[in-house]
Amino acid sequence: MRIPRTLAIVLAGGKGSRLGSLTDDTVKPALPFAGPYRLIDIALSNLAHSHISDVWIAEQYLPHSLNDHLAQGRPWDLDRLHGGLQVLAPFEGATGEGMAQGNSDTLWRHRERIRSFGADHVLVLSADHVYTLDFLEVMATHTTSDADLTVVTTRVDEDPSSFSVVQVDESGRVTDFDYKPDEPQGNLVAAEVFLYRAQTLLDALDELGGETGGLGDYGEDLLPHLVSTRLVVEHRLDGYWRDLGTIDSYWRAHMELLDGNGATLDDPAWPIWTAQPQLLPARIEPAASVRGSMVSSGSRVSGSVEHSILGPAVVVEEGASVVDSVVLHGAHIGPGVELVRCVVATGARVVGGTRRGSEDRVTLIGPDGTITDRA
């Protein structure tokens, strides 16, 4: 029996402007998460465990920050002679290639390469979310329904207006796809994982974009078109899912991880793989106090850390206090500094012996060690 050929395309080119200074020098999928991990590790680990080995990474904004981490796909066993991980960079061509203006525009600009690959199905996912999902289960829903497109959906407990709100009928067919609506009709949203019949995707891209027209975001053109003209079904994700597109959601996902009601990153049957930095174990000095926290390798703690996550090579000096905070790679917290509900950027040096942050809102401390405006 012929096994259907599946191509996975991970969209990893967005700027992530709502994350403020965290993405001034780093593309969002390369942002640290839960200490030593990067956001893109979630998507690539889910693909690896789902035995999908033809994986393309579509880049655009600051690609070097991501390429340094990808290591040719080695951490996810994607450095192969046949198939494996490939990076798609924007390029100038004769038929409209170049810088994309949205998610579906990215697919349109690479449509000829997708066509030449000869896949039966194309799995498109973003690299900005935290979740665990076996994509083979999505494939089972897709093939059993004989669908043109299967949309992974989930329910959110936050304002749905920043997502694509989905309506489905009793059979699981998607009847409406409302992109970032002002008045959302429900809290069932697209989890930004889409499994297309390959020919359906290519036909739609050709029809909507023409030869040189281009497209925008999938919620503006591609998805509404397919919902109205083809069979689109849902695959429900009932487990944890979080979009890390804002400082608040980024901080919240870390606090949920600490509280045990967030992402599952330590399942022996479904580990999250990454290119770990080669560092000594964390050093907890005699003067330190560490409670309910996660401290990454290479860190040195002499002060107080409570209900916080420290990335690799973080230093917390004696007399410093870190509470309900996320401190990223290589940051240095000086004596007398008190952090409360803060996100501290990679490499920041926070000194001056005063309190930053409050119980009322999440405070972002930028790479220069000062509080920055949030997007």
* Digitized pLDDT (tens) for each residue of the chain, 375 residues in all: 466 899 999 998 777 677 888 888 888 888 999 999 999 999 999 999 999 989 999 887 777 778 787 777 777 777 776 778 888 877 655 555 566 678 888 899 889 999 999 999 999 999 889 999 999 999 999 999 999 999 999 999 989 998 999 999 999 999 999 999 989 999 999 999 999 999 999 999 999 987 666 788 888 899 999 999 999 999 999 999 999 989 999 999 999 999 999 998 989 999 999 887 789 999 999 999 999 999 999 999 999 999 999 999 999 999 999 999 999 999 999 999 999 999 999 999 999 988 999 999 999 999 999 988 765
Calculate the dihedral angle through the C-alpha atoms of 179, 184, 187, 189, rounding to the nearest 10 degrees. Answer: -10
User: Tokens in use for 163?
Assistant: 């997502």
Which pLDDT score is estimated for 100? 67
Count the Cβ atoms, other than its own, within 10 Å of residue 46.
Answer: 21
d(CA 268, CA 248): 29
d(CA 314, CA 161): 36
Q: Does this model's pTM top 0.85?
A: yes
Which pLDDT score is estimated for 313? 97
d(CA 77, CA 302): 38
The half-sphere exposure of 354 on its side-chain side, counting CA atoms within 13 A, is: 6
List phi, psi (to 5°) of 167: -110, 135
CB 156 within 8 A of CB 180: no
Which pLDDT score is estimated for 219? 87
Nearest to 306 by CA among 330, 342, 282, 281: 342
Residues 6+ apart with CB under 8 A from 186: 160, 165, 167
Classify residue 154 by burial, with Cβ atoms within 10 Å: 0-12, 13-18, 19+: buried
Pick the CATH number of 283-365 from 3.40.50.620, 1.10.357.10, 2.160.10.10, 2.60.40.10: 2.160.10.10
Here the contacts of 348-354 (C-beta below 8 Å, separation 24 or greater) are 353/319
Q: Which amino acid is at 365?
A: I
Which pLDDT score is estimated for 14? 72
Nearest to 252 by CA among 175, 156, 161: 156
Q: Parse the chain into domains and list their residue ranges.
A: 6-259, 283-365
Which pLDDT score is estimated for 6? 96
Can you state the angle between helices 63-70 and 39-49, rounded to 10 degrees? Answer: 50
d(CA 123, CA 104): 13
User: Tokens in use for 256?
Assistant: 């949920």
The 3-state DSSP class for residue 259 equals: helix
Which pLDDT score is estimated for 277? 79
Which pLDDT score is estimated for 175? 96
The 3-state DSSP class for residue 110 equals: coil
Instruction: Name the CATH architecture for the domain at 6-259.
Output: Alpha-Beta Complex (3.90)
Which pLDDT score is estimated for 83? 75
The 3-state DSSP class for residue 330 equals: coil
Residues 6+ apart with CB under 8 A from 207: 225
d(CA 150, CA 221): 16
CB 280 within 8 A of CB 167: no
d(CA 252, CA 244): 9
Which pLDDT score is estimated for 279? 92
Which pLDDT score is estimated for 143? 95
Sheet holding 321-323, edge to edge: 289-291, 304-306, 321-323, 338-340, 355-357
